[in-house]
Amino acid sequence: SAVARISPYLRFGMLSCRVMYWELKAAGGRQVSVTFWRRLTWRDLAYWQLHNFPDLQDVPVRAHYVGQRWNDDRQALARWQRGQTGYPLIDAGLRELWATGWMAQNVRMAAAVLLCELLNISWVEGEKWFHHTLVDA
């Protein structure tokens, strides 16, 4: 598998992103894996945003979510959480998340888009679920 599964080690400070940077650079720099570099950069960007914009945990990033009238359908939320949406990729990802605590980054984003944009359920519900279930939350 090409998945490193190091995110919890980075998240909880058992592995330093800075040390990883220098080790990867010594091993061949960007030639090692452009995707890996992007994921590390994406992770650090998220931490930078939370540090510089502490309201992000409580205020939506998307302006059109402010004042949005969200669907409060608890059954639809439960189906999403159980991976019973009818969208095979997202359902598989959500079931994997529940079973293992892992979910690929692109599947996380797809599941969040489905929750907010198609089911019209608040991003806050998705944040709470991901924080509850992800091993690297």
Element housing 127 (H / E): helix 123-133
Distance CA 98, CA 36 (A): 25
CA–CA separation, 49 and 55 (whole Å):
10
Q: Is 36 annotated as a binding residue?
A: yes
Q: Is 65 exposed, middle or buried (0-12, 13-18, 19+ CB in 10 A)?
A: middle
- Binding residues for FAD are 36
- Binding residues are 36
